[in-house]
Amino acid sequence: MIYEHYDPAFEALAEDLEKNAAYRVLRRVPAPYTDMPEDGVPPRGKCLCIIDLETSSLDPAEGSIIELALMLVWVNDQNEVIGHLGPLSWLEEPDAPLDPRISLITNLTFPMLLGKAINDAAVLALIDRADMLVAHNSRFEVSWLEKRYPELADKPWGCSMKDIDWLMAGVDGRAQQHLLGQHGWFSTAHRAGPDVWSLFWLLQQRTPEIGSGIVRSHMQRLIEAAETDTVLVQAKRAPFDKKGALKSRGYQWNPSANCWQKELPPAALQHEQAWFYRTGIPAPETRPFSACERHR
């Protein structure tokens, strides 16, 4: 990769250091830039909207959004990026002074937010343009955004944290900064705009698929996974003493449904139903699961 936006002298030093296996070099994610056709007409292709929020609380019932950032990304039929706009961001004054811990996490203080308001009309107009919404922990973003914008209830979501099989992509962990670091990048600002941009940068990184060796971008992996319908398997009648067996098989507890559940590709359903029978667990309830439901 050519790092044209870095100081050539320091880049030469970094390249020399990289020759020594005892060192790893991390480069700062470059400053955001927009890449759109000169005539301003959006590219022909699928449009994704990458979103990040900063909030005054971890609970949507108690807090409010204090920063919202998004960017639009267009991809072609091969899910390669062909244009991007943003990130664009807005601040908003909360109803009460911020908990100091929130300020430490977000780098936002109450005086910075005084008199600020999110432009809801602009946000909805941009989101409406997108075929899919994307975040690094989509369940968090969904819970806040749909409270504020109920009209988003039917929008499909992709989650870069959960939809990508990072281990099969040759990296481990799921935290955004950790994943960036494994690709030789870092971003220090924990604000919505920089986080959106660094996620976009992460999704453009390419690695060979474990097993096949096929090199793909994480953006391609995310879109493919999000658009692939799965089957939600719920062990709603499982006896309590089968908890260990379900947990060992990868099932997770869903408190709202009061059951253990797991997503599977449709082709694996029959085998899973047979496992329930052999393990002595009543047959599970199953239903199709898509990007419109997966992270809600």
Interatomic CA distance for residues 35 and 49, integer angstroms:
15
The tens digit of pLDDT for each residue in 47-57 reads 999 999 999 99
Is residue 3's pLDDT more than 70?
A: no
Q: State the DSSP H helix or E strand holding residue 66, giving kind and residue range, or none if neither.
A: strand 65-75
**Mean local confidence (pLDDT), 281-292:** 96
**Mean local confidence (pLDDT), 147-174:** 95
Equal fold, 31-226 vs 229-289: no
- Domains of the chain, residue spans: 1-26, 31-226, 229-289
Is residue 1's pLDDT more than 60?
A: no
pLDDT band at 256 (very low <50, low <70, confident <90, very high): confident
> How far is CA 187 from each of CA 22, 160, 195, 196, 201, rounded to the nearest angstrom?
23, 17, 8, 11, 10
Non-local CB neighbours of 86 within 8 Å, separated by 6+ positions: 32, 34, 69, 70, 71, 72, 196
The CATH superfamily of 31-226 is Ribonuclease H-like superfamily/Ribonuclease H (3.30.420.10)
Lowest mean pLDDT among 58-62, 77-81, 134-138, 167-171: 58-62
Non-local CB neighbours of 34 within 8 Å, separated by 6+ positions: 84, 85, 86
Residue 228, phi then psi, degrees to nearest 5: -90, 115
Report the pLDDT value the prediction gives residue 188, as an integer from 0 to 100.
79
pLDDT band at 2 (very low <50, low <70, confident <90, very high): low
Interatomic CA distance for residues 160 and 137, integer angstroms:
7
| The dihedral formed by the CA atoms of 242, 246, 251 and 255, expressed in degrees to the nearest 10 | 10
Non-local CB neighbours of 199 within 8 Å, separated by 6+ positions: 50, 52, 134, 135, 136, 160, 176
Query: Model's pTM, two decimal places?
Result: 0.89
pLDDT band at 167 (very low <50, low <70, confident <90, very high): very high
May I ask the CATH architecture of the domain 229-289?
Answer: 2-Layer Sandwich (3.30)
Report the pLDDT value the prediction gives residue 120, as an integer from 0 to 100.
97
pLDDT band at 296 (very low <50, low <70, confident <90, very high): confident
**Mean local confidence (pLDDT), 100-110:** 91
Is residue 261's pLDDT more than 80?
A: yes
**Mean local confidence (pLDDT), 143-149:** 96
Number of Cβ within 10 Å of residue 224's Cβ equals 14
